[in-house]
Every structure is written in C-alpha cells, then in structure tokens.
Chain A
Amino acid sequence: MKDYLSLRIGKRFSSFQLHKKTIWFSLLALLIVIAVAIVSLGMGEMKIAPLDVLKVLLGIGSEENALIVEQFRLPRIVIAILVGAALAVAGAIMQGLVRNPLASPDVLGVSGGASVFAVGFLILFETASIKWLPPIAFLGATLTTFLLYALSWKKGVTPLRLVMIGVGIKIAAGAIVTMLIMFSPFLLQNKALLWLTGSIYGVDWNDVFMILPWVIGLILVAGLLARRVNIQQLGDDLATSLGSSLQLDRFFLLMICAALTGTAVSVGGDISFVALLAPHIAKQLIGPSFGGAMTLSAFLGAIIVLLADLIARMAFSPIEVPVGVFTSAIGAPFFIYLLYKNRNR
C-alpha cells in the first residue's frame, strides 16, 4: 500500500485514503486554478500583465492596478472559484448517491428550484437584506430535492425515474421563473433573467463574504462524510450489510448537496452542466473513490467556471455573454456523449 496515504480523524469519525496520483492531480489542478485566475485578473478593458497582477496580490503593485484588480475583478474571480467548486462537489455527491452518470443537480431541476425561490425572494421582498439569499435558495433546493424524491418514489427510487421526473421539474421551474419575472418590476427583470442562464456579472465583495462561509463549511462537511459516500456507491444491499445507516446517510448527503447547489445558485443562477462535467473528468483521472474525486472535482469545477467566465467576458468584448451559455455549450455535447456511452445500460 505504498501508493496510498491514509488520513484518519478519530477512530470512527472520518477517514479516507488518498492515492498518490490523487494528490499530484489535485496539486496540478490547484496550480491551474491559480494560473487561470491570475491571467483572468489581468484581462478586461484594461489589460494588466500577469506579473503585475501577482505584484498587486502580494501588495506591491501600483495603486491604479490595485484598484482595478482588488475592487473590480478579484470578487468576480473568487466567486467563480467558489461557485464552480460548490457545484462540482454537489454534482459529485449527487452522482455518488444516484449511481447514475447522468445525474446532476441542474439536470434534475434542483438548481431550477433554487432559482425559483431566489427570484421569488428578490421580487416579493424587495427591501429585504440580500444576505438572506443563500438560505432562501438553499431552502428552494432542499424542497425541490424532497419533491423530486417523493415524486420518484414508487416502492423505492429508480435512477431512471428520478432522471425523468427531474427533467420535468427542471422545465416547470423554468416556467415558474419566467412567470415570476412577468410580475416583477422592470428594474428587477434584468437581474432576475440572469437566473435563467447563470451569470456572475456584477458581483462584489459582499457576495463573496455572503457565500464564502457556506461553501467552505459545506465542502469540509462533505469531505468528512467521504467514506459514507463511498459506501453508498457500492449499492443498497452491500452498504446495508456493511453496517451503514443507509437512509440516514442518504438524507444528510442530499441535504449537503442541496445546500451547496442553493449557495451556488444564490449568486450565480442556474449555471448548467458544471456539476455534471467536473466529477466525470475527476473520476476519469483518478477513479471513483469519493474523497479524492471530490477534492479534484472541486478544483476542476473552479477551473471550468473561471475559464467559461473568461471567455464570456473576452470573446465578444465589450458585450458580456452569460457564463451559463458557455458551460452548456461545452456541457450539453458532453451529456450527449455520456448518453451515447451509456446506451446499453
């Protein structure tokens, strides 16, 4: 077992093994995140060389550069990383639980449910503090998850029924959001429209601090529960005979998944297919053991959203395309590929 590194906290609490490959890939992915972030920080109306960006981040850059980087661009970059990581981990959990490669919170309508609540909150409680947005979106994601599970339940939940009903819920959520937008005052309409495609345009430090504790906390909890996800992946019978409290674990994990989705949606809207792409790439690279796959997919999710955002900003500058457009432009063909690959299942 020389290739493995064991981590253990307490005797029964949490443990996982990391393959060396996992560690190397994760470090590499982290480096790419940083590199893309630095390049992206320098891109925009005013181009700043990566070296100057680095200087600013270290606190020795020029004042002018510092203003642009720290006030205008950094919050957006941080949000891209956080949202990408949150979505990716949510997707990794979902795929582990449903044991279907096509499952992800956005395909199953969980993001859509969160959007309904977020948009409804913005429109109905115009004066309320925006810091309530993540818990509200979380509530929406949770209720949608319950609804999805309840509607798919017929002497147990089969993954296929779950996916079918999820597609229905997603379409219904889209219709409700459109309806809510119809009722909203004109000024809010543009903001609300973003929820339909997903965009991280115009975020500031407040948004960052709003979701930072949620994302970090939830990902840590997900990491601690890693071995429970691993057991779930073995299938119901095996998991039960291994002494796992199957339903309880499943419930907790779904909650975490819903919370992560809600958090991401509360600032980014419905950014599609990140939650599907990242875990798949991670599993291709290092295999399905959850602890490592989750870590790597968090980084990969961050990279995907960062890159998509960079393209969305720069490709047709000065016009900005919503980042969700690019994630689905990459994600949908990938989804079709998965569909083709799993055709005989």
Chain B
Amino acid sequence: MSSLLASNFRKILGVAFAILLLTYLSYASLIFGVIDTSWQTAIDAYTNFNGSNEHIVIKEVRVPRVLNALTVGFCLGLAGTLLQSLTRNPVADVELFGLNAGASLFVVFAVTFVGISSLTQFTWISFLGAAVAGLIVYLLGSFGRDGLSPVKLVLAGAAITALASSIRHGMMVLNEKATDEVLFWLAGSVGGRKLEYLATVFPYMIIAWIAAFVLARPIQTLLMGDDVAKGLGQRTLLVKFSVGIVIVLLSGCAVAVAGPIGFVGLVTPHLARYLVGIDTRWVLLYSGLLGSILLLLADIGARYIAMPAEVPIGVMTALIGIPFFIYVARKGLDK
C-alpha cells in the first residue's frame, strides 16, 4: 500500500511539521478570541502578572483551553484508531458507539442521585459509563453468524445512545439543580474548564497513551485476522481486552475533561493511514497529532462562528465529521 510519507525520514519530518502546526495553532488559540491579545501579553501574564483583564483571560481561560484541546484531541485520535482496529471497521468512533452517551448518563446519574462532586469520582464514573456502553455495543454488534459488522455496530451504538440520552434527559428534567451543574459539561467544550480537571485526569491519560503505543505491535498482528494472530502465538482475547480497556481509559479521560465530543476519532485515523500507510505505531502517532490539530481548529472556529457566543465544540466536530462519515459509509461498506 503506497502512502504519502513512505520513508521513515519523511514520517519524522511529518511529525515535526505537525508539531510546528500545533505550536502555531496553540499560539492562535491563545491570542485570538472575543478579547484579542498579543504574544507579549501572553508571556507577561506569567512573568509579569498585573491583574489586568487580558492577563486573567490568558491565565484562567486561554491556556487551560489550549492544553485541554491538545490532550483531549490526542486521546480522541488514539481512541479512534484503536476502536477502528479492534472492530476492523472504518466507521468506528466513540460518539457513534455510544461511549460518550454512556459516560454522560453515568455522570448525570451520579450527580443527580448520589451527589458526587469530587473530580476523581467524576473521572472514574465516566470511565465506568464509557466501559458499560462500549461493552454492550460491542456485544450487540458481534451477535449473529457473520460476527462483528459495521452496520450492526453503528445501529447498536445509535440505539444505546438514544436510550442513554433519553434516560439522562429525564433525570435532568427531574433535578434542576443538578442540571445546572452538568449542563455546561454536557455541551462538550474545551473552554471553561479549570486546569484542575486536566490535572486530575492527566496521569491516566499518560498511562493510556503509553499503553496504546505498547499495544501497537500486537494490534498490527491482530489486524491480519484472528486466525493468523492465534497461529502466530498471540493470545488474541487478552490483546482485545487490553485494547478495550485502553479505549475506555482514553475516551473516559476525554469525556471527563471536555464532555462528549464526537467524530474526531472517526476522521483522524483515515487521514493518518492516508499519510503513513498501515504501520499501526505511526498511524497511532499521526492520528493523535491530527486529533489535537483538529480539535484546536474546531475550538478556534467555534469562537468565531457565533461571536460573542460560542458554538459547543461537539457540534463543530459533528458537522465536520458527518460528511466524512457519509463518505466512508458510501465507500467502505461494500466489501
């Protein structure tokens, strides 16, 4: 399979370029917005803080926002790649498969009925929600003679999403106070989150990132088919299970920080494979970087479309992702 960046040298060059682009976008995201600032102000905010509006905006709003977008985008990109490899399905995504809806339902339930407020609990509950929803969708999708099929997975995901969001909606109507607490979170945004959220979740993120790259080789083998992988001496069930755990960690982290954001993980693996071919390690890296780029771009766009109000970033990524989804669904399901 030919790819755009065939040699390792070019691939490394590509990574360097992606990092450069990320730096520029982070810069843009720091500076532009309802209050336009300058690079100088941004540096001053840390070296020379004087309590002015610009400085507060930079410190409290913009910097967390950039860091959130970078990390969450990376998580979503990785999660998408792993999910597409695990289900051998071109249209896999955390939103489509109901992981986001499951996490949202569990969080709203916990806030409404159990009254949790600690960030750590919040994180664990969204892990649990994503895991439960993901497991149900995976099981539903693998019933039947022909095993896992994209259509069954997508439909199961749609059904689980519908079920989870209707129950969640009902709970929110019943408890208005809790609604206020979670509504901002449900909209899906990388803005308006304090750095504490990210700090709480960051250790898990790191673990999940490392685990994803460690699993890259076994996944590569698994992609050749269960029988081949078994023949090569792989314990496929163990690999699949670990990949599942990593996916849940990644999407749970992303949801805990930024709320439900979909379709980043649908788009980036395809772009990554287009760029670097089928080597899972490179695809993972590129997909993660592209995820960060996409999320930063979507976040900057979300500020400008309805200025001074902001469009939820989940809406932006859905609008970018759906045409892509339709393209892939048309192209890739005939085999």
Which chain A residues have a beta carbon within 8 Å of chain B's beta carbons?
102, 107, 151-152, 154, 160-161, 163-165, 167-172, 174-176, 178-179, 182-183, 197, 272-273, 316, 319-322, 324-326, 328-329, 331-333, 335-336, 339-340, 343-344
Q: A339 near B169 (CB under 8 angstroms)?
A: no
Q: Of residues A152, A161, A320, which shows the largest number of chain B Cβ atoms within 10 Å of its Cβ?
A: A161
Q: B159 near A164 (CB under 8 angstroms)?
A: no
Q: Is B312 in the interface zone, CB < 8 Å from A?
A: yes
Instruction: Determine the interface band of chain B, counting residues with CB < 8 A from chain A.
Output: 35 or more
Type the 1/0 row for B134-161, where 1 means its CB is closer than 8 Å to any CB of A.
Answer: 0000001001111000111011101110
Given A151-B326, A151-B330, A164-B150, 11 additional A-B pairs, CB 8 A: A160-B151, A171-B95, A171-B262, A172-B322, A273-B162, A316-B174, A319-B173, A321-B173, A336-B159, A339-B140, A343-B152
Question: Chain B interface mostly helix, strand, loop or mixed?
Answer: helix
Contacting residues, chain A, for B5 (C-beta < 8 A): none
Q: B140 near A340 (CB under 8 angstroms)?
A: yes
Partner of B166, one of A171, A172, A178, A329: A329
Partner of B306, one of A164, A183, A328, A343: A183
Q: A321 near B170 (CB under 8 angstroms)?
A: yes
Which chain B residues have a beta carbon within 8 Å of chain A's beta carbons?
91, 95-96, 140, 143-146, 150-152, 154-156, 158-160, 162-163, 165-167, 169-170, 173-174, 262, 306, 309-312, 314-315, 318-319, 322, 325-326, 329-330, 333-334
Q: A339 near B159 (CB under 8 angstroms)?
A: yes
**Considering the chains assembled together, what is the distance between the CA atoms of A339 and B141 in angstroms?**
9
Contacting residues, chain A, for B152 (C-beta < 8 A): 339, 343
Which residue of A is nearest B329, CB measured?
A164
Q: A182 near B306 (CB under 8 angstroms)?
A: yes
Q: A161 near B333 (CB under 8 angstroms)?
A: yes
**Considering the chains assembled together, what is the distance between the CA atoms of A154 and B156 in angstroms?**
24
Contacting residues, chain B, for A165 (C-beta < 8 A): 326, 329-330
A150 → chain B, closest Cβ, in Å? 11
Q: A322 near B169 (CB under 8 angstroms)?
A: yes
**Considering the chains assembled together, what is the distance between the CA atoms of A169 and B143 in angstroms?**
26
Q: B140 near A171 (CB under 8 angstroms)?
A: no
Contacting residues, chain B, for A169 (C-beta < 8 A): 322, 326
A92 → chain B, closest Cβ, in Å? 20
B169 → chain A, closest Cβ, in Å? 5
Partner of A168, one of B150, B156, B325: B325
**Considering the chains assembled together, what is the distance between the CA atoms of A323 and B163 in angstroms?**
14
Q: B173 near A172 (CB under 8 angstroms)?
A: no
Q: Known contacts A172-B318, A339-B140: does B309 contact A197 (CB below 8 Å)?
A: no
B102 → chain A, closest Cβ, in Å? 13
**Considering the chains assembled together, what is the distance between the CA atoms of A319 and B171 in angstroms?**
11
Q: Of residues B170, B174, B309, which shows the largest number of chain A Cβ atoms within 10 Å of its Cβ?
A: B170
Which residue of B is nearest A147, CB measured?
B326
Q: B158 near A328 (CB under 8 angstroms)?
A: no
Q: B319 near A176 (CB under 8 angstroms)?
A: yes
Q: B319 near A175 (CB under 8 angstroms)?
A: yes
Q: A164 near B166 (CB under 8 angstroms)?
A: no
Can you list 16 A-B pairs with a CB-CB distance of less than 8 A? A107-B158, A161-B330, A164-B329, A167-B154, A167-B155, A170-B158, A179-B311, A183-B309, A273-B162, A321-B170, A326-B166, A328-B166, A329-B167, A329-B170, A339-B152, A339-B159
Q: A102 near B330 (CB under 8 angstroms)?
A: no
Which residue of A is nearest B95, CB measured?
A171
Q: A336 near B156 (CB under 8 angstroms)?
A: yes
Which residue of A is nearest B325, CB measured?
A168
Q: B143 near A343 (CB under 8 angstroms)?
A: yes
Contacting residues, chain B, for A174 (C-beta < 8 A): 318
Q: Known contacts A179-B315, A182-B306, A332-B162: does B151 contact A164 (CB below 8 Å)?
A: yes
Q: A171 near B162 (CB under 8 angstroms)?
A: no
Q: Known contacts A175-B315, A321-B174, A340-B143: does B162 contact A335 (CB below 8 Å)?
A: yes
Q: Of residues B146, B165, B167, B310, which shows the largest number of chain A Cβ atoms within 10 Å of its Cβ?
A: B165
A193 → chain B, closest Cβ, in Å? 10
Contacting residues, chain A, for B145 (C-beta < 8 A): 343-344
Which residue of A is nearest B91, CB measured?
A164
**Considering the chains assembled together, what is the distance between the CA atoms of A326 and B155 in angstroms?**
20
Q: B144 near A344 (CB under 8 angstroms)?
A: yes
**Considering the chains assembled together, what is the distance between the CA atoms of A5 and B169 in angstroms?**
46
A330 → chain B, closest Cβ, in Å? 9
Q: B163 near A329 (CB under 8 angstroms)?
A: yes
Q: Known contacts A165-B330, A172-B319: does B155 contact A182 (CB below 8 Å)?
A: no
**Considering the chains assembled together, what is the distance between the CA atoms of A79 and B320 in angstroms?**
37
**Considering the chains assembled together, what is the distance between the CA atoms of A174 and B95 in angstroms?**
13
**Considering the chains assembled together, what is the distance between the CA atoms of A164 and B228 in angstroms?**
30
**Considering the chains assembled together, what is the distance between the CA atoms of A321 and B144 in angstroms?**
37
Which residue of A is nearest B170, CB measured?
A325
**Considering the chains assembled together, what is the distance between the CA atoms of A326 and B156 in angstroms?**
19
Contacting residues, chain B, for A176 (C-beta < 8 A): 319
Contacting residues, chain B, for A170 (C-beta < 8 A): 158
Partner of B156, one of A197, A319, A339: A339
**Considering the chains assembled together, what is the distance between the CA atoms of A324 and B168 in angstroms?**
12
Partner of A160, one of B143, B169, B333: B333
Q: A164 near B154 (CB under 8 angstroms)?
A: yes
**Considering the chains assembled together, what is the distance between the CA atoms of A259 and B2 in angstroms?**
49
**Considering the chains assembled together, what is the distance between the CA atoms of A183 and B309 in angstroms?**
8
Q: Of residues B96, B160, B312, B318, which shows the largest number of chain A Cβ atoms within 10 Å of its Cβ?
A: B318
Shortest beta-carbon contacts, A-B, top 7: A343-B144, A332-B163, A328-B166, A175-B318, A172-B322, A325-B170, A164-B329
Q: A163 near B155 (CB under 8 angstroms)?
A: yes
Q: A168 near B326 (CB under 8 angstroms)?
A: yes
Q: Known contacts A179-B311, A328-B163, A332-B159: does B329 contact A161 (CB below 8 Å)?
A: yes
Q: B173 near A102 (CB under 8 angstroms)?
A: no
Which residue of B is nearest A154, CB measured?
B330
**Considering the chains assembled together, what is the distance between the CA atoms of A102 and B262 in angstroms?**
24
Q: A164 near B333 (CB under 8 angstroms)?
A: yes
B258 → chain A, closest Cβ, in Å? 16
Q: A102 near B174 (CB under 8 angstroms)?
A: no
Contacting residues, chain A, for B333 (C-beta < 8 A): 160-161, 164
